[in-house]
Structure 1
Amino acid sequence: MWQWINDNAQALSFFASLGTLGVWLFYAHLLYAGFRRQRQARILINQGWGQQIDSVCLISNMSQEPIYIHSLVMTIRTQDDEYSESITDFDTAEPRDSEDRPQNVTRQGPLNSGEQMNLGTFRSIIRQTAKRHDNLESDDDRPIRTLEIANFKITVIASYGPEGGIIGAQRKFIVSGEDNELMRPAATTTKRMAKRHARAKLQDWLEQQL
């Protein structure tokens, strides 16, 4: 056996080198994949304080670097149609509110890594969407019941340095209950919108808001 090994030492060394190279390439791929995941934007849209209409909508930046939020869009699906409106700015803000604290008039702006933004209650942002759309009539006390909402989506349109361009995150919520005042996420995770087709749609939304 030793004689056979000595006779084929050169070939065995070649295949051993190939095996070693394959192992290194495998680990390099794992490291690169992990690095890419760490550099990707990770934006979460969550529901806090129960599943009722007065629960709050939270936007969290779990990326390694800050993001810049350009726009927030709510899309309401009723029994008959679908309506999308920007909820980036506050309807109740006054011009003087922006003098010292821009966050008092708009939700647009940077969000640091590990921080979250409270958009307010779902009641308030649904009411804001309804008031901005001519085909929806909001009831200040019970907007969901009067609008006959089946579900709605919250979309975050943002920029993230390492990825470049526009990226987005979206989450869908199902409405239920006797008075349509209960809601829950349709999925356990936030949908990441980073592919070319999704980015083109986000860009169109931004251009429509100009």
Structure 2
Amino acid sequence: MGFTQDLARQTAELRARIHDMPFNRELAAGSLSADVFRGYIVQDAHYLEGFARALAAVAAKAPGPEEIAQLAGSSHGAIKAERTLHAHYMALFGVSDAQFRNAETSAACDHYVSFLLRVALVGDFAEGVAALLPCFWIYRDVGQRIAADAKPDNPFAAWIDTYASEEFNQGVERMLALTDRVGAAADAASRDRMHRAFARSCWHEWQFWDSAYHRRGWPIAS
């Protein structure tokens, strides 16, 4: 049994709940509020910039050129996604570049990015890989599930098609294979750190969508 299968078993309940979140159910039905999706796209664009930085930081710790190339390529891909998919929806929903740049990151976005960057910069290579994996894996699984259920002429078809695409799937499979290789070579203590990092990122994925759906910013002290 591969290491990623252990990770999947460990987080099966949480990942099942992500599939059943109102955000994803309504996105599949095409009934998600335009305001909710607009806010999500803005936060996701901010997130992907941080995610790309974390990928680059983990790539710098990679043991060999193959791993460096893979993670650096994924970092480039994250920026490309931000400039194409997000530009499409920001234009569609009337979000200007200035409005995007001036939009404050939500607490959920800030916490997720901060976690990834801390692990990427302070943790070892194996822990960094595990922390980065959920963004690939969960989005692929959610995208494929939604694509199977989405109604015709879904207004979010570009988003669905991106994450259900074979191109994205191939990138996810490469990341899963890398994680399996790293997990197989790691000692028990390192594998424990990988499990914790992976589970925490899965939680942040849930929190990000939940925050977007409920349009949460930063709690106000009272």
So what's the TM-score if we normalise by structure 2?
Answer: 0.23
Higher relative contact order (CA 8 A, sep 6+): 2
Higher normalized helix content (fraction of residues): 2
